[in-house]
Amino acid sequence: MDLKSIGLTGIGNARQLGGYTGADSRRIKKDVLLRTGKLADAKEGDLDRLKNVYHLTEVVDFRTTFEREAAPDPEIEGVCSYHFGILDESAKENQGMAAAAAGGAFPLEKVMGFITSGAMENMYVDIALSPVSQKGYSNFFEVLLNHGEGAILWHCTAGKDRAGFGSVLILSALGVDRETILEDYILTNQYYRENIEQLEQFIRSKGLPEEAVKAAKSMAGAEQAYLEKALDTIDKNYGSMDAYLENQLGLSVDNKQKLRDKYLEK
């Protein structure tokens, strides 16, 4: 299995979209579109690799204010950074999600409450429908369209939900088939295998029901059914992914072609 790794040792879920087949059987250019977990976890050599191997020039951070303050991105010389919030920070249920993502910077009972609430199952649906999320991803596409040379990297905390849904949108815009998009999404489970197993053991040790175990595993990893539910919701509410990209995110037909010409091989 090709994990699409970009060879970082500290930053979680660090991989690229290069090599997937998009529109007109054209492959996505390698070493340009990078997705990761939070950059604050970078170990010695990671930032040098991003700068000197991938020639990183832009970073997009999808995290909440709480998460960014808990683990600020390191400054990288010559790299332009953007923050586009995806979660509505005023929504109470999103505070639990941000707390869980921040990894222990919040009371355990708050995180446990989020796990047992059932919010994970509908998180991608909520992201797809949220005006805040749509605005954030619309801004992201503007950066992608105006990106110059070198690589562009986007991340959240674990690099799987907000960054993952952003990847779904990019792959869709570039004409990658849905089966491949889903396969890319669940690669997260390979990167976080140990974390998922440890969290599962912890939840079981608390005597919580199997529903809570499943929710905890999806919080630490990726649950394909949850993403499929969001994609089905997009088709039902907006007609198609193409219509969603154009009408909700503002990606016109001309700009979609521009995006393909920029990121797909000739």
pLDDT at residue 255, as a whole number: 99
Helix ranges, the chain (H)? 46-52, 65-70, 92-102, 108-116, 123-129, 131-146, 162-173, 178-185, 188-191, 193-205, 210-220, 224-238, 241-247, 253-263
Name the class of domain 15-263.
Answer: alpha beta
- Residue 97: pLDDT band by 50, 70, 90 thresholds? low
Q: For 162-220, how does the pLDDT look when each residue is reduced to its tens digit (9 = 90+)? A: 999 999 999 999 999 999 999 999 999 999 999 888 888 888 888 878 877 877 787 78
56 vs 115, which has greater pLDDT? Answer: 56
Burial of 8 by CB count in 10 Å (0-12 exposed, 13-18 middle, 19+ buried)? buried
Domains of the chain: which residue ranges? 15-263
Phi, psi of 86 (to 5 degrees): -105, -35
Q: For 118-171, how does the pLDDT look when each residue is reduced to its tens digit (9 = 90+)? A: 677 888 999 999 999 999 999 999 999 999 999 999 999 999 999 999 999 999
- Residue 106: pLDDT band by 50, 70, 90 thresholds? very low
pLDDT at residue 115, as a whole number: 64
Q: How far is CA 257 from CA 30, 179, 222, 253, in A?
A: 19, 22, 30, 6
Q: What is the mean pLDDT of the chain?
A: 91
Could you tell me which of 9, 103, 104, 88 has the C-alpha nearest to residue 48? 9
Q: For 11-51, how does the pLDDT look when each residue is reduced to its tens digit (9 = 90+)? A: 999 999 999 999 999 999 999 999 999 999 999 899 999 99
pLDDT at residue 88 greater than cutoff 60: yes
203 vs 240, which has greater pLDDT? Answer: 240
Q: For 221-232, how does the pLDDT look when each residue is reduced to its tens digit (9 = 90+)? A: 899 999 999 999
